[in-house]
Amino acid sequence: MAEILDILVSFLCQSGTANSCQSFIQNYPTMMEQLLYFFFLPTVLIIIFIAVVVKTVMGRLDVKYDLLLGIAIYIFIVLSGWYVMFLWLSNIWYILVIIIFGLLFLKKLFIGGNSGGGGRPGGKLPGTGGGGSITDITGLTKYGAKKLIKGRVGAEKEIKAGMKILKQKVVRIEKLANDPRAPHTDVELAISGYESTKAGISTNIKNFEKQLGIAGERIVKKYWDEISKLDDRVENAGAKEGGDRFREAA
């Protein structure tokens, strides 16, 4: 059994998340609990998540295409190191499901209602069917998935736009460093503008990393690496023609 668990860890915990997975497993003393909480429950949660994503994003497709896309998403989740995120989510997901369905049962038992949308017309979340049925949960899940995807795309789009502006500022600094006729104040303003823009983008990247959760550090690494390269270009601009005056401004 221990060998099976080791194989599952090596397969499911990619991108440097093996230590986090081992730490999670150690929270449970018996092998049965470890397999239940490490493999079974998170896998069920991932399957539900994939089913919602496929139906929400792609609409109704042929079953074989649904299956193919679902497998692709599962592989992507594993290879991206996101499986460990579902480990921690699975600990609270089922508790929330039990509480929600318990409340819906009590509502139907004491207040009444049906699954045909008999709830109040106002105050519903987009995509919910009203009336306290399973349609409410499905609609709420779709609504949350759409908001999550839309928020991530918007945040990353803003970061990419900022990076484009930052690159333009670096190009200007390099031109000024190579132009002996450029006024000293222009060099100072160019450096100040670069630092100000970089500070704003850095804040956006940090917020985006928090939004992504446990996988955020790996995803935003490319932006930090790109900023580091731009910093090197700014620093190296002082070694180019006309660089003495640039170094004084810096």
Instruction: Kindly state the percentage of the chain with pLDDT values over 90.
Output: 6
- How far is it, in rounded angstroms, from Cα 187 to Cα 249? 7
First to last CA, the chain: 62
Amino acid at 7: I
Pair of tokens at residue 50: 């994939």
Find how far residue 130's CA is from the centre of its chain.
30
Of residues 132 and 31, which shows the higher confidence score?
Answer: 31
- Choose between 12 and 244: higher pLDDT: 12
Alpha carbons within 13 A on the beta-carbon side of 82: 16
Indicate if the pLDDT at residue 231 is higher than 60.
Answer: yes
Predicted confidence at residue 169, as pLDDT, reads 87
Output the pTM of the full model: 0.41
Burial (CB < 10 A; 0-12, 13-18, 19+), residue 237, is: buried
List, for residues 75-119, the tens digit of each pLDDT value.
999 998 889 888 888 777 777 778 888 888 887 777 754 444 444
Q: Could you tell me what percent of the chain has a pLDDT over 70?
A: 74
Enumerate the domain spans of the chain: 2-112, 146-249
pLDDT at 26 over 50: yes
Cα 74 to chain center, whole Å?
Answer: 15
For 150-204, write each residue's pLDDT tens digit.
Answer: 566 678 888 888 889 989 988 888 888 888 787 777 777 888 888 889 998 999 8
Q: Given a cut of 80, is residue 136 above it in pLDDT? A: no
> Which residue's structure tokens are 């790109």?
226
Q: Where are the alpha helices (DSSP H) in 13-40?
A: 18-25, 31-35
Mean pLDDT of the chain: 76
Per-residue pLDDT for 132 more than 50? no
Q: Determine the pLDDT at residue 225.
A: 92
